[in-house]
Chains A and B, each alone.
Chain A
Amino acid sequence: MTRVHDMGGRFGDGPVAPAPEPVFKQEWHARALAVTLAAGALGQWNLDTSRHSRERLSPSDYARFSYFEKWISALADLLEEHGVVTRAELAAGQGDGASPLASRALKADQVAGALARGGPADRPVASGPRFAPGDGVRTRRPARNAFVPGGHTRLPAYAAGAVGRILHHHGGHVLPDANAHGLGEAPEHLYTVVFDAAELWGTAERAGDEVTCDLWESYLEPA
Chain B
Amino acid sequence: MMFRPRGKRSFPLWTGWVAWRIIDSMPHDHHDHDHAHAVLPPDPALRVKAIETILTQKGLIDPAALDEIIDTYENRIGPKNGALVVARAWTDPEFRAALLDDATSVVAELGFYGRQGEHITAVENTPEQHNMVVCTLCSCYPWPLLGIPPSWYKSDAYRARAVREPRKVLAEFGVALPEGTKVRVWDSTAEMRYLVIPMRPEGTEGLSEEDLIPWVTRDSMVGTGLPGRPE
Contacts and interface: CB of A to CB of B under 8 A. Distances in A.
Chains A and B form a bound pair? yes
Contact of A73 (B37, B58, B115): B37
Interface string B165-201: 1111100110000000011111111111000000000
B108 to A, nearest CB: 10
Nearest to A89: B54
Contact of A112 (B2, B72, B157): B72
Contacts of A90: 36-37, 39-40, 50-51, 54
B35 A57 contact: yes
A48 B201 CA distance: 39
A54 interface: yes
Output the residue of A5, A114, A116, A122 with the most chain B CB within 10 A.
A116
A31 B69 CA distance: 9
Contacts of A194: 184
Interface string A139-170: 00000000000000011101100000000101
Contacts of A158: 136, 163-164
Interface residues of A, number: 112
Interface string A1-38: 00001111111011111110101111111111111011
B114 to A, nearest CB: 4
Contacts of B70: 24, 30-31, 33-34
B11 interface: no
Given A67-B3, A210-B183, A101 B188 contact: no
B54 A93 contact: yes
A7 B160 contact: yes
B58 A121 contact: no
Interface in B188-218: 188-192
Contacts of A213: 187, 189
A73 B47 contact: yes
Nearest to B179: A206
B74 interface: yes
A61 interface: yes
Given A102-B58, A158-B163, A15 B147 contact: no
Interface string A64-93: 011111001111110111001101011101
B68 interface: yes
B35 to A, nearest CB: 5
A18 to B, nearest CB: 4
Contact of A76 (B49, B51, B113, B136): B51
Contacts of A29: 3
Contacts of A128: none
B117 interface: yes
21 contacts: A7-B156, A14-B157, A15-B157, A24-B74, A28-B44, A35-B52, A37-B115, A39-B55, A76-B40, A91-B39, A93-B53, A95-B55, A105-B62, A111-B72, A119-B118, A156-B189, A158-B136, A176-B190, A192-B121, A201-B164, A214-B192
Top 10 A-B pairs, shortest CB-CB distance? A8-B136, A95-B57, A102-B59, A214-B190, A80-B36, A73-B37, A34-B66, A108-B64, A76-B37, A121-B191
